[in-house]
Chains A and B, each alone.
Chain A
């Protein structure tokens, strides 16, 4: 069964700062200062964020309330935004989780919008800090000095329970795992953000992906182990009961190609849910490395070769074109529909076009939609102007600051303004996305509840909002659950939320209309049924377990 492929990003940002004396400020202090100003960042839009009390306790205090996590834990200070995003601190980094979006362009708007808010909060924090204090945020996900230090900007895609268990637990269909791992192995460098890699021998190398050197496994549970991350990750954090959320940790935050990457992965995973298992690489991890690290810096040609399972050696552009073409055929034949992956034909067509440019060495054309290409040209020009090499500190600084959230520092923003980069949305779309969550997503309803009933809300989670039915301290609670990622989409809840005078009028939103249909499998279900229903239990428990 193919489920709609909602896309989300955990945008973990490079977080640093310096005081008036130029001394570095601890990342934790920078993160706290920035997160404290997220509310101020939304003020120009006339909306407010919702957050639990900063001491970790909700109303009622330590002896009568709800504990929501220490302000000193690794993941804390959650701020739920009116547009469906969530801001928090994760391992001392500012992090934004975007609202789930089905449209790749809406996803791109969410990601870029998240950076706009983060930058506005950073500016507010800097203005309120001691004179001379500088805070810095960047969408770069690798340390500019130590390549062992990296942090995630994970891509999340909704998948069926069956596919998630197949890929991450049971491996019933290893060929499907092979296809998905192979497609990710190609997408990681193709949609990479670029990174100057310093192997430690005095040389410098340009890597298409800033994470490739950390990817050394096909599948891992751990996410933070240096040089030990997987193409696929088994972290299970669904944001709704009806589907799983595949956590893909190998991707960079590639602002120029968020829409293309999102669409590509929607289609790959939809194809996998249909049982597609073509184009399997012999060694997907090695392919990620070969394709990331082998670019001819005279011609711009991507020279790296990887081995397919049938023995053929193939370049990254050729591989991407084959997969994208196969996916287009699935769109044309109706296997992949707009309801699952909207705009797929257009996005896949653009990817095929980019593979042609890559084979021609037309890197400037690639740079319109691929961040690594735009950054490479930017750094090469800087090298030429300064007579420098990639190892020069000024070039490495330019590498790190390329995706700085500040429009005056991040070259990405200037190249976008000049038309050299085209993320397939305009800046106004990203700004507009800050007013409401994507209409096709539960984030829309959650955001509207926060906007209208923020004072009555006692807790917010990805799959529920809890409100007091009155303003009294011990008023009964109303829990609005969101079992599906579209439970509170605009068409379902706009009229109800708009017409509600108070939280009590939201009762009808608690009705769970999410009955799930499940196909019976007369072969595969037998073991499960035997395990779930011991003999006699179905007859009232005569032979039930004690």
Chain B
């Protein structure tokens, strides 16, 4: 295939972004990996009050631009 034809194909459905997990319900091999990887989850996840006020906490994490 010529470079021109390949260029035309850029940006088509083939390159469409993949959605979030909720948009991809169904059997999920990656989710199974996630469960196993986070087997330490009881320790790794902060099931604490802070996460219940996540929106508020997000605002407290706001930053300015930098470099």
Contact = CB atoms under 8 A, between A and B. Distances in A.
Interface residues of B, number: 51
Contacts of A382: 38, 45
B39 to A, nearest CB: 8
Nearest to A420: B37
Contact of A24 (B7, B27, B55, B62): B62
Contact of A297 (B18, B60, B67): B18
Given A361-B29, A393-B54, A414-B43, A378 B18 contact: no
Nearest to B43: A414
Interface string A360-386: 011110010000001011101111110
A422 to B, nearest CB: 13
Interface in B24-50: 24, 26-31, 33-38, 40-41, 43-46, 50
A435 interface: no
B60 A203 contact: no
Contacts of B18: 205, 293-297, 303
Contacts of A380: 21, 30-31, 34
Q: Chain B: interface secondary structure?
A: helix
Contact of B61 (A144, A223, A282, A364): A144
A401 B15 CA distance: 30
Contact of B33 (A27, A300, A311): A300
A226 interface: yes
Contacts of B57: 393, 397
A318 B48 CA distance: 41
Contact of B67 (A12, A205, A299, A367): A12
B63 A151 contact: yes
Interface in B1-34: 1-3, 6-7, 10, 14-15, 17-24, 26-31, 33-34
A339 interface: no
Contacts of A152: 66-67
Contact of B66 (A22, A90, A294, A414): A90
A307 B10 contact: yes
Interface in A147-197: 148-152, 154
Contacts of A93: 63-64, 66
Contacts of B10: 286, 307
Contact of B64 (A149, A154, A296, A313): A149
A156 to B, nearest CB: 13
B67 A27 contact: no
Contacts of B23: 203, 389
B31 to A, nearest CB: 6
Interface in A260-308: 282, 286, 290, 293-300, 303-305, 307
A415 B44 contact: yes
B34 A381 contact: yes
Nearest to B35: A381
Given A151-B67, A391-B20, A136 B61 contact: yes
Given A364-B37, A382-B45, A397-B57, A203 B15 contact: no
A411 B45 contact: yes
A394 B23 CA distance: 18
A247 to B, nearest CB: 10
B66 A151 contact: yes
Interface core residue of B22, B37, B45, B65 (most chain A CB under 10 Å) = B37
B15 A374 contact: no
Interface size bracket, A side: 35 or more
B30 A397 contact: no
Contacts of B65: 91, 148-151, 224, 226
A409 interface: yes
Contacts of A299: 29-30
A297 B34 CA distance: 11
B50 to A, nearest CB: 8
B63 A414 contact: no
A471 B22 CA distance: 69
B58 to A, nearest CB: 5
Contact of A144 (B7, B28, B38, B58): B58
Contact of A393 (B27, B30, B31, B58): B58
Contacts of B1: 311
A145 B58 contact: yes
B64 A92 contact: yes
A373 B27 CA distance: 20
B29 A300 contact: yes
Contacts of A149: 62-65
A418 B34 CA distance: 15
A146 B61 CA distance: 11
Contacts of A328: none
29 contacts: A93-B63, A93-B66, A143-B63, A152-B66, A205-B17, A206-B20, A226-B65, A290-B15, A293-B17, A296-B18, A297-B21, A297-B28, A298-B28, A298-B31, A307-B10, A361-B30, A362-B33, A363-B37, A376-B34, A380-B30, A381-B34, A388-B22, A390-B21, A393-B57, A394-B52, A397-B58, A398-B46, A409-B46, A414-B44
Interface of A: 12, 14-18, 22, 24, 27, 90-93, 134, 136, 138, 143-146, 148-152, 154, 203-206, 223-224, 226, 249, 282, 286, 290, 293-300, 303-305, 307, 311, 313, 361-364, 367, 374, 376-378, 380-385, 388-394, 396-398, 400-401, 409, 411, 414-415, 418, 420
Given A293-B17, A296-B18, A418-B44, 5 more contacts: A27-B63, A299-B29, A381-B41, A389-B20, A393-B55
Q: Which 5 residue pairs across A and B have the least CB separation, nearest first? A: A151-B66, A393-B54, A381-B38, A380-B34, A91-B66
